[in-house]
Structures are given as C-alpha cells and as structure tokens.
Chain A
Amino acid sequence: MKVRILVSFKDSVLDPQGQTVKNALHTLGYAAVKDVRQGKVFELDLAGISRAEADRLVPEMAGKVLANPIIEKFTWQIVEE
C-alpha cells in the first residue's frame, strides 16, 4: 500500500519561502497568484498492514516525526492499494 502525506505550515505561521515564491511569480507577471504556501510531500510504501492499521499508523508517524505540530499540519491519502 502506498500513502502520500502532505505537510505544510499552519495558516497562522508565516511561510517565508512561500512568500518568496509568490513574489517570483508576481515578478514573472502571474498577477492572479494571491498566496503561495510551500510544503513537503512524503510517499510511504507500507507492507503487511491492513487499511485499519494504516489509518492508525500514518497519522501517528506524521504527527510524531514528519510534521512538527507546533508549526505544521498534514493531510494524507492512499495512492495505491
């Protein structure tokens, strides 16, 4: 089973890298860009576990290691059964 986890800054946290990317896009004339938030993508290949176990393990791993809950939030999805 493959899962994809997306980690990004919480809305309340300033994202200086996203701001810089936004400014670059504006400089290139993409005026429609209102905001940019930069994040990280993790793809985990999980073996020998059930869907229910994934439901428990993935948020646990994301909250404990992949994201720092003080500044970041995460979402995840199964991309391959």
Chain B
Amino acid sequence: MKFGVVVFPGSNCDADTLYAFREVMGQPAVSLWHKDHDLAGVDCVVLPGGFSYGDYLRSGAIARFSPLMRDVREFADKGGLVLGICNGFQVLLELGLLPGAMLRNKHLKFLCRPVTLRVENDRTRFTRRARKERLLSIPIAHFDGNYYAPPETLREIEDRGQVAFRYVDADGRATPEANVNGSLNNIAGLVNARGNVLGMMPHPERAAERLLGSEDGRVIFESMISTL
C-alpha cells in the first residue's frame, strides 16, 4: 500500500510518520506538498501531526484551504483511505470530512503523555485487526483535543458506530478522570459515516516500535494495509 504524507508549513510529525510507514511497516511512502495538486497515485493519504500555519485562527483552519486539500476531498469522496493524526484530525474537522470541532483541552494545558484507548469498533478499515474493546497505549500531544459536536450530531456518530477509540482508564472504563482533554463521550478518534476517513488525536506513529515504549499503534497501520 502506497502512503502519502501531506506536509504543511508547521507540520512536525511528517518525518516520523513517513519513517513508521517505510521503516517499521515496510511500505512505500512519499511526502505530498500541500501547495501541489498531485496525490502521486497513493492508496492512502495521511495528514500528520504538528502545528500547520502555527495553529493561527483555529487549529487546522488555514490548512484546510491548501490547494491539495481539494484533491484530498475528491479522493475521500471516491472512497479513498484518509488518516488524520492530531493536527491532521483537526484539519479533517475543519474541512468537514469528519463531523464536529475541537475546543481547547478542559484544563487549558498542553498534554503530552501516553493514554489508554479502547477500540470501540473493530469493523472499520482502520481497526479491523484489533479486537473490539482491546486497550491500546498510544501517546497524545495536543492543546486542542477537546472533541465537541452538537447533540444531534453526537447521537448520529454514536448510533452509526463511528467512534473508533475512547479515552479509558487502565481497566478500560471510560471515566471522567480518564477523559484527559474533556472530549464529549471520551471520544479520541472517529471515522466518517462511510468508514474511509479516520481522525484521531493520539499518535500511532509514536507507538510503532518497542523502542518507543509501545507497539500498539501498529495495529492501526496493519488494519489499513490489510484492506488493500
């Protein structure tokens, strides 16, 4: 599976993400410049973490108007696989490829630490290699990860099983304490209704090798690769 990692001014996880796909997963991966109109024939587009455009205005608000985002939208509309990690998730929300928006973390702190996630839906193209309710240890690093959606949207997301991951405690319970950033329903990651776009705040590329303290992020990449 050929991966394309989009680079915006201010992206800072693009190199790590390329490394994870190339070196850890052994897949071809290229970087895609946000100003181009060329997806280079990739099978999956990845919007990496970072601070595109310095997070000015709102996280992801400027990046969504980058020329390449029009191609990414068309790619997604045709059923192409799109993964947004952290700032990439925020861009997908601003772009409207995923429902909802991000608010500042509940305690107004930048949070950088491992969290425990529970797999909520194991039938998505991003989670099919993980058993439902499996716990994953993957780090977060963000200021604006407090997921919000209006009540009727939230109901639809839940009813359709679009929640991919929730923040939970070590026992797998979605408690208020485990909800590090204050997200509605402890939502850490969600897919679109069609299931070909995933946004998640935690960084699977930072949990892809034993040396990094966790390999739990690999199951997401393995799931994606297995769908081709």
Contact = CB atoms under 8 A, between A and B. Distances in A.
B152 to A, nearest CB: 12
B6 to A, nearest CB: 20
A58 interface: no
B67 to A, nearest CB: 16
A20 B105 CA distance: 12
A70 B57 contact: no
A16 B146 contact: yes
- A interface, how many residues as a size bin? 10 to 19
- The CB with the most chain A CB atoms within 10 A, among B103, B108, B149, is that of B103
**6 cross-chain pairs, A with B, having the tightest CB-CB distances, nearest first:** A70-B101, A71-B101, A68-B101, A16-B104, A16-B106, A16-B108
Chain A interface mostly helix, strand, loop or mixed? loop
Given A70-B101, A70-B148, A71-B148, A17 B57 contact: no
Interface of A: 12-14, 16-17, 20, 65-66, 68, 70-71
A66 B101 contact: no
Given A68-B101, A70-B101, A71-B103, A12 B61 contact: no
Nearest to B58: A68
A31 B104 CA distance: 26
Contacts of B104: 16-17
Interface in B148-185: 148-150, 182
A14 B103 contact: yes
B150 A68 contact: no
Nearest to A42: B57
Contacts of A20: 108
A70 B106 CA distance: 18
B182 A16 contact: yes
A36 to B, nearest CB: 14
Contacts of B150: 12, 70
A68 B61 CA distance: 8
A12 B104 CA distance: 15
17 contacts: A12-B150, A13-B103, A14-B182, A16-B107, A16-B182, A65-B57, A65-B65, A66-B57, A68-B58, A68-B94, A68-B101, A70-B100, A70-B101, A70-B149, A70-B150, A71-B101, A71-B103
